[in-house]
Chains A and B, each alone.
Chain A
Amino acid sequence: MTARATGTAPRLWTWRHLVAVTLARSLLAGLIGLAAWGALPAAIGWHPTTVSSGSMMPRLHVGDVAVSRPLGDHVPPLSSVLLFHDPDHPDRLRMHRFVRVDDDGLLVTRGDANNADDSSPVPLSAVVGIGTLRVPWIALPITWLREGRWLPLGLVGAGLVLTLAVATSGRDRGFGDDDEPDDPGAGSTPPASDDEAQPPPSTSAAWSGAHAGLRRLGVALGAGLLVTALATTADAKFVATTTSTVSLGLSGYATCASAVAGLGPSIWYRMDETSSTTTSAADGSGNNRTGVYGSAGKTTTTAKPCAQDTGRAMTFDGSSGYLSSPQITGALPNTFSLAIWFRTTTATGGKLIGFGNQQTGASGIYDRHLYMTNSGQVVFGVYTGGVKTVATTRAYNDGAWHLGVATLSSAGMRLYLDGALIASDTSTTAGEGVTNGYLRIAYDNIDNWTSTPSSRFFAGTLDDAALFPTALTAAQVSALYASAG
């Protein structure tokens, strides 16, 4: 510390020196006072914390010590600054402003310098205290130490040492009024601490003791502050977010089978038979309308339109293969839907699916049917005092799987291909009055219909032929098609 003069004639105090020493002591006393403000409240259970980032600017600065008092049983007022357990970092405290209560009764907080509320609201139980005292800048050296900023730390440290040196200088000096003996304490009391001001010279041991007590108090306060402030910091977090959204939807049905089943068919030939010579076609509708295959002219295949489905499809040769339902007793329906998957490259057309009055061979009465023309257009025909047809303009004999759906109801005829409405006729709402007909697939009479194809037999692969007792809606048809995956 200060060099002690060992000579016999000590220099005298000067007024300038006295002012300098007083200022230096004032500065140190002020610092001790601030430290006391930061540290003493801890003695009554308040929480001093060092502000470690600037998201509460300009209200709180980095390096401030913020002292929070416990809430007790009180509810914090809106807009108060709260110290709470950081919901995003389990071991930290955060000090932000309380802006509102959310729908779940949680406290929404926000840093004054942030442009958005904190993303994680906190329960009342997470609140440690309410900001009450701000001791400015006193913990800046701690912040610097934490951040490894040695230059300002060194400058402040040097300044402090210099101030200490000035504050403690002069004890070896003499006075202008030599009417009192030299201070006995000046030479005999060793410096108790390098950090604190030395006691001023005193003639009385009581004075000296009081000063030593103050000094110890200052040391204790400084150390206390250092410990508490180092131990707890309040992260006033800067927050920024950017967002996007995701929405995924599964089509209505995971499989064709579930789609058909979900729509409630009255006849459903899945054509999953593994034999090419079987004459029995299982009905998947649950109505036990087991169909009849022609024993020849067909080949079972694993190719199928529905990627997610199990089962098979049936290829018809266009010259003898067919499939027919057992007799459908009663009048043929005027509200129904026909659906069938087909794949072909034929140039001679043929019957896809429809009603006739014979189970095998060519029917004499035949309508409510879907057929393909030689050029590949798909036609939906209903007989009501004359042939009524709606047809596609494009050709579907392109070698790819297509779903043909025809509906008849009081709303008229509708023809859907691949889930989309292609053509409709609202004036035709009923077919020919026939009782006890048959559902015919891949073969029947088509004579005298629009663009009659050259072949009654259809040459191509068919799957999931179904009759529904309702006119499927556009959405249902779309879902049916989408279920193919």
Chain B
Amino acid sequence: MKSPSRRALRLSHWLVWPLAALATCAVVGQASYSAFSAKVSNTGSTLAAGTVVLSDDDSGSALLSLSNLKPGSSGSRCIAVTSSGSLPSAVKLYTTDAATTRSLSSYVSWTVTQGTGGSYSSCSGFTALSSGSSLYSGTLAGFTSGATTYASGLGSWSPSGNGSETRTFQFAYTVSSTTPDSAQGGTSSFGLTWEAQNS
């Protein structure tokens, strides 16, 4: 077969550009339409290569539900939170929908400790982490006003995403023995949320 001419070579080199331009237009156009058209249906996907999953062991019960506290009353409760996602993530703890009447939450001291062992049904076996175990220590009012979003959330737990990891959180309350009479009948309620975001 005859060797290609100089002309054929030159032609082939020039043809490359319009063809590539057409091809990239097609690729970007199609990709953009499928990604950003609001008309494209938006159902949760199972295609994701990895994900983050978080669960706890309270079986839907309240962590604490106490209605007849007195000045000086104290107690604690544990809850075990499990991360079983496949991506490394960072877990933060924050409060939602905090409400207090008669400023009760200003007279409750509140500590949050992280560790291992123990469960919702019993704190027995709970062991605080050897370092960085204290997530919060102060008034309940400070807790519920300070940690309200993921960004302001508490915690240093970063599950690796390799298999499931469990961390236990211990919450302890003490109603101040100097609680004034003005707090009589006061209440404090809030939601606790642990949120994992992949890192």
Q: Is the CB of B175 within 8 A of A250?
A: yes
Residues B121-169 near A (CB distance < 8 A) = 140, 149-151
Q: Residues of A contacting B28 with CB < 8 Å? A: 34, 37, 133-136
CA distance A231 to B185 in the complex (A): 55
Q: Residues of A contacting B42 with CB < 8 Å? A: 59, 79, 97, 112
Q: Is the CB of B177 within 8 A of A29?
A: no
Q: Residues of A contacting B62 with CB < 8 Å? A: 244-247
Q: Is the CB of A201 within 8 A of B69?
A: no
Q: Is the CB of B20 within 8 A of A246?
A: no
Residues A2-43 near B (CB distance < 8 A) = 12-15, 18, 21-22, 25-26, 29-30, 32-34, 36-37
Residues B1-51 near A (CB distance < 8 A) = 1-10, 12-13, 15-17, 19-21, 23-25, 27-28, 31-32, 34-36, 38, 40, 42-45, 47-51
A81 contacts chain B at the CB level, 8 A cutoff: yes
Question: How would residues 33 to 71 of chain A score, 1 for a CB under 8 Å from any chain B CB and 0 otherwise?
Answer: 110110000000000000001111111101010100000
Question: How would residues 98 to 136 of chain A score, 1 for a CB under 8 Å from any chain B CB and 0 otherwise?
Answer: 000000000000001111000110000000001111111
Residues B61-80 near A (CB distance < 8 A) = 61-73, 79
**For residue A78, which residue of chain B has the nearest CB?**
B38
A249 contacts chain B at the CB level, 8 A cutoff: yes
With both chains docked as a complex, state the minimum distance between the C-beta of B156 and any C-beta of chain A, in angstroms. Answer: 15
Q: Residues of B contacting A242 with CB < 8 Å? A: 54-56, 81, 193-194
Residues A82-98 near B (CB distance < 8 A) = 87-90, 97
Q: Residues of B contacting A120 with CB < 8 Å? A: 149-151
A252 contacts chain B at the CB level, 8 A cutoff: yes
How many interface residues does A have (CB within 8 Å)?
86
CA distance A34 to B190 in the complex (A): 50
**For residue A118, which residue of chain B has the nearest CB?**
B150
**For residue A86, which residue of chain B has the nearest CB?**
B151
Q: Is the CB of B32 within 8 A of A113?
A: no
Q: Residues of B contacting A262 with CB < 8 Å? A: 184
Q: Is the CB of B71 within 8 A of A87?
A: no
Question: How would residues 239 to 274 of chain A score, 1 for a CB under 8 Å from any chain B CB and 0 otherwise?
Answer: 111111111111111110010001000000000000
Q: Is the CB of B180 within 8 A of A136?
A: no
Q: Is the CB of B190 within 8 A of A133?
A: no
Determine which of B149, B171, B197 lies in contact with A239 in the assembled complex, contact meaning CB atoms within 8 Å: B197
Q: Residues of A contacting B183 with CB < 8 Å? A: 250, 254
**Which one of A172-180, A333-341, A343-351, A394-402 is at the B interface?**
A172-180
Determine which of A55, A88, A112, A132 lies in contact with B32 in the assembled complex, contact meaning CB atoms within 8 Å: A132
CA distance A33 to B150 in the complex (A): 40
Q: Is the CB of A33 within 8 A of B56?
A: no
CA distance A37 to B50 in the complex (A): 28
**For residue A53, which residue of chain B has the nearest CB?**
B198
With both chains docked as a complex, state the minimum distance between the C-beta of B87 and any C-beta of chain A, in angstroms. Answer: 6
Q: Residues of B contacting A136 with CB < 8 Å? A: 27-28, 31
Question: How would residues 175 to 190 of chain A score, 1 for a CB under 8 Å from any chain B CB and 0 otherwise?
Answer: 1110010010000000
CA distance A163 to B89 in the complex (A): 38
Determine which of A77, A200, A240, A307 lies in contact with B53 in the assembled complex, contact meaning CB atoms within 8 Å: A240
Q: Is the CB of B38 within 8 A of A77?
A: yes
CA distance A77 to B36 in the complex (A): 11
Q: Is the CB of B190 within 8 A of A25?
A: no
Q: Residues of A contacting B69 with CB < 8 Å? A: 248-251
Q: Residues of A contacting B171 with CB < 8 Å? A: 246
| B residues at A contact (CB < 8 Å) | 1-10, 12-13, 15-17, 19-21, 23-25, 27-28, 31-32, 34-36, 38, 40, 42-45, 47-56, 58, 61-73, 79, 81, 85, 87, 89, 96, 102, 104-105, 107-108, 140, 149-151, 171, 173, 175, 177, 179-181, 183-198
Give the top 6 A-B pairs by smallest Cβ distance, nearest first.
Answer: A176-B3, A33-B24, A29-B20, A485-B70, A247-B189, A88-B150
Can you give 15 A-B contacts (C-beta < 8 A)? A13-B3, A22-B13, A53-B87, A57-B49, A58-B45, A79-B42, A89-B151, A133-B32, A244-B79, A244-B192, A247-B66, A250-B107, A308-B72, A308-B177, A483-B70
| A residues at B contact (CB < 8 Å) | 12-15, 18, 21-22, 25-26, 29-30, 32-34, 36-37, 53-60, 62, 64, 66, 77-81, 87-90, 97, 112-115, 119-120, 130-136, 174-177, 180, 183, 200-202, 214, 237-255, 258, 262, 307-308, 482-483, 485
